[in-house]
Amino acid sequence: MKLRPIRFARPFLCFALTLTGIISYAQKSGWVYPGPDGKLIYKALPMGDKIMDFSYAGYMGGGISLPDVAVKLTLNPVDGDNAEAIQNAIDQVSKMPLVNGFRGAVLLNAGKYDCSKTLNINTSGVVLRGAGSGEKGTVINMTGDPHVCVAVRVRTSANPAWPKTTLADAYVPSAAKTFNAASVEGFAAGDIIQITRVVTPQWLAFMGMDNLVRDGKKETWVNGDIITERVIEKISGGSITVSVPLSDSYDAKYTGAVTVQKVNIAGEQSQIGIENFRIVSAAQSVTITQGHNSGINMGGISDAWIRNIELFNTVNSVSITGKRITVDNLSIMHDVPTLGSAKPADLNGSGSQVLFNRCTITGDNVFYLATGPKVSGPVVLLNCVFKGGGWIQPHQRWATGLLVDNCQVPGGGIEFMNRGEMGSGHGWAIGWAVAWNCTAKNFLNQQPPGSQNWLIGCKGDIEHKAMPFEKTNPILPDGIIDSQNKPVAPQSLYLIQLKERLGVQALRNIGY
């Protein structure tokens, strides 16, 4: 059979696909690799945990083309403040009827639009579009007091409903899609469920997070509940299969009873896009506690996107807390670094099923990507390049299910770590994370108790450190380090998982 290669957008991302699988041109990892029939084989840890299928990250659950929404209103720049005119146009389109999920796009023709306040999109089916992100395209120039340039802030609520049950398994491994329930009565395919575990004293002690003290004051790592939202795919006997794998494990010795309850989501908006323009702020030499201009905030939404956006000198530039969101071809540039030891997060990936694809950042003293507390992935960084003195570093209080895939951080680091008493007691920041075929100046890959992190096929120096502020200075155990300085096949974990689940067309749909 003659091979028909699919060539990726960047030269180092090239491999051949056949009807049976991937042609290997490098060594493979024992943790995920194509078998003789081309299907991926996953090596499991003793309790059944394994690397999850990350391919569900992105718009509409991955592998779906971003839509081209029809223009309903067009604006040209005017002298003075343009914020009110743009907001009025957004509001007008927001009142139009939904047609196949969309109301329409507001198009900002090429030119410079001075804007002194936040542009808000709070209604499903609305797109804010420019005429290009280059110098001769559409430029939103941030003026006035510090603010967020574009915000999608929607209040949502998950209202508990009948039925409610508990996990019947003593242990549910990370990456599982199926688990046994004490009862499945009343549940049905298509139900949205919340899987809720209480943060118990037993788990805090097991994680070594029950004795954080800084400057004589006790710090709290995680408290309350950790909630994972999923959709039921099918029910068979006493088992429930969900549509997206679980990003964390559930061990009854430390979690106690884990509840599974149907919920009705109220207020959530969807099909919102921000695309094809440039956001410019004056250079900001500030600490993160000082007022500053930020770029884009998205929260309370599903099935949305940001694409072809350039940002200059924004701080805490892009924050995502929704679900099934793609951030594609985003560029952030800083003329000056922020000040102080507390660093901003240029990309805050605190949602679920979030894909950052082909993003670039140039800047110093910054977290290129950080995560907030209790984040349940998958969250994916794919083919991103970050230049300067900064870090990909999940930030605080137990996020799970992160993939850093074919990313480059030549002047900085990729760190899956225990941040201990840093901040306000950030502690173990991440579990069940994978760096796959990445390059960085240095890596820190630590193993949380009862969990795992992986570095696979990555190039760079490996560091070994204690928990910050730990007086006895014991070096924390490493996570799994496989094929150091030797890239593995398949070249991209996310793309081969996506191809296996949805076929080659899914790759083409997202630009590969």
Under a CB-based contact definition with an 8 Å cutoff, are residues 512 and 8 in contact? yes
Cβ distance 194 to 257 under 8 Å?
no
Q: Which parts of the chain register pLDDT below 50? A: 1-25
Tally of CB atoms within 10 A around 202: 14
Picking from 219, 209, 179, the residue whose alpha carbon sits closest to that of residue 195 is 179
Read off the tokens for 147.
């603010």
What confidence score (pLDDT) does residue 425 get? 93
- The full DSSP string for 152-201 is EE---EEEEEEEEEEB--SEE-TT-SEEEBS--TT--TT-EEEEEEE--H
First to last CA, the chain: 23
Q: Distance between CA atoms of 322 and 344, rounded to whole angstroms?
A: 20
- The owner of tokens 């323009």 is 277
Rg (CA), the chain: 23
Instruction: Tell me the domain boundaries of the chain.
Output: 48-61+316-334+343-512, 99-153+269-294, 157-266
pLDDT computed for residue 18 by the predictor: 36
Q: What DSSP line would sit under 53-109, residue for residue?
A: -GGG-SGGGTT-PPP-PPEEEEE---SS--HHHHHHHHHHHHTSPPBTTB-EEEEE-
Beta bridge partners of 171: 251
Tokens (6 digits) for 28: 């493979």
Angle at 349 (CA atoms; ends 241, 53), nearest 5 degrees: 35
Question: Which 3 state secondary structure label does DSSP give 359?
Answer: coil
Report yes or no: 156 and 303 within 8 Å, Cβ to Cβ. no
Strand (E) or helix (H) holding 217:
strand 217-218
pTM: 0.94
- Residue-level length of the chain: 512
Beta strands 225-236 and 192-198 are: antiparallel
Examine residue 163 and say whether the peptide bond preceding it is cis (omega within 30 degrees of 0): yes
CATH of domain 157-266: 2.40.30
Q: Specify the pairing of strand 4-7 against strand 14-17.
A: antiparallel
CB neighbour burial string for 262-298, b if at least 16 within 10 angstroms, e if fewer:
bbeeeebbbbbbbbbbbbbbeebebeeeeebbbbbbb
pLDDT digits (tens, 9 = 90+) for 129-169: 999 999 999 999 999 999 999 999 898 999 999 999 999 99
How confident is the model at residue 470, as a pLDDT?
A: 80
State pLDDT tens for residues 64-73: 999 999 999 9
Number of neighbours of residue 237 by Cβ within 10 angstroms: 8
* pLDDT for residue 26: 63
Give whole-number Cα distances, 2 to 5, 16, 17, 18, 19, in Å.
10, 11, 11, 9, 11
Backbone angles phi, psi at 501, to 5 degrees: -80, -40
